[in-house]
C-alpha cells in the first residue's frame, strides 16, 4: 500500500485511507500500520481540513441506508479473507476430522466459484424489443416479441427446442394421460 507521510500526499491515497477508516473493518492501529502512518502524521491528518472532508464524505457514504447490503458483504469478505490462512492450516492438519476438511474444501470451492453451475437466469424470458420514436412530440411505438425458447413435447418427453410453438392443449392432455397410464 502507498504510505501516507504527510497531508500533502496524493488525493487518491488520502481517499483510500479515509475509506478504510470509515469502513471500520480493521482497528485504527492496523490501518495506520498498513499505510505507514506515524502518530505525528495522524495528528497532521486530523488538522487537515481536506482529509477531514474526505473522511466525513466516506463515513456518510458508508453509513447510508442504501449501502447496508454492500457494507455487510464487504465486512463479511474482509473477515473471511482474514480467516482463510487459519482454514488452510486446519485443512492441512492430519489430525483434523476428514468430514470437516471436506466441508472446508467445498466452502473454498464455492468461494472460488469452482464446480458451480453458471447463472442462466439471463436466458429465461428473453424478448426482442424495437422502439420507434416519431419525434419529440409523438409517443414512441414499441413492438415486443417473446423469443423465449419453448420446449417441445415428443413422445411424452420434454426436449429443448428453438422457437417452436407450444404444444396444443389437446397434445399436452394426451401426453399427460399417456404418462398417467405407464
Q: Return the residue matching grid coordinates 472460488.
A: 112
Q: What is the largest CA-CA distance in the chain?
A: 85
Region 93-116: what's the mean pLDDT? Answer: 86
Q: What is the pLDDT of residue 31?
A: 92
Q: pLDDT tier at 78 (50, 70, 90 boundaries)?
A: confident
Which among 78, 64, 62 has a CA at the least distance from the CA of 27?
78
Whole-number pLDDT of residue 114: 79
Kindly tell me if the per-residue pLDDT of 43 is higher than 90.
yes
The string of pLDDT tens digits covering residues 114-137 is 776 665 555 555 666 777 777 777
Interatomic CA distance for residues 10 and 17, integer angstroms: 11
Please tell me the predicted confidence (pLDDT) of residue 32. 93
Taking residues 155-162, report their average pLDDT.
56
Helix axes of 98-112 and 68-92: crossing angle, nearest 10 degrees:
140
Contacts of 1 (CB under 8 A, 6+ apart): 16, 34, 35, 36
Q: What is the DSSP letter of 162?
A: S
How far is the first Cα of the chain from the last one, in angstroms, to the nearest whole number? 68
pTM score over 0.75: no
Amino acid at each position: 500500500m502507498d504510505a501516507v507521510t504527510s497531508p500533502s500526499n496524493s488525493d487518491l491515497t488520502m481517499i483510500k485511507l479515509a475509506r478504510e477508516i470509515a469502513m471500520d473493518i480493521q482497528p485504527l492501529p492496523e490501518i495506520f500500520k498498513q499505510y505507514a502512518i506515524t502518530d505525528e502524521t495522524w495528528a497532521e491528518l486530523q488538522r487537515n481540513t481536506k482529509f477531514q472532508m474526505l473522511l466525513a464524505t466516506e463515513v456518510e457514504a458508508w453509513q447510508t441506508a442504501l449501502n447496508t447490503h454492500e457494507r455487510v458483504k464487504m465486512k463479511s469478505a474482509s473477515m473471511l479473507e482474514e480467516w482463510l490462512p487459519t482454514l488452510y492450516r486446519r485443512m492441512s492438519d492430519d489430525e483434523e476430522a476428514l468430514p470437516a476438511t471436506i466441508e472446508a474444501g467445498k466452502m473454498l470451492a464455492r468461494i472460488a466459484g469452482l464446480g458451480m453451475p453458471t447463472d442462466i437466469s439471463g436466458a429465461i424470458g428473453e424478448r426482442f424489443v424495437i422502439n420507434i420514436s416519431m419525434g419529440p412530440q409523438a409517443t414512441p411505438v414499441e413492438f415486443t416479441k417473446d423469443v423465449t425458447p419453448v420446449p417441445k413435447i415428443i413422445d411424452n418427453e420434454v426436449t429443448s427446442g428453438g422457437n417452436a410453438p407450444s404444444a396444443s392443449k389437446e397434445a399436452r392432455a394426451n401426453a399427460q394421460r399417456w404418462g398417467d397410464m405407464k
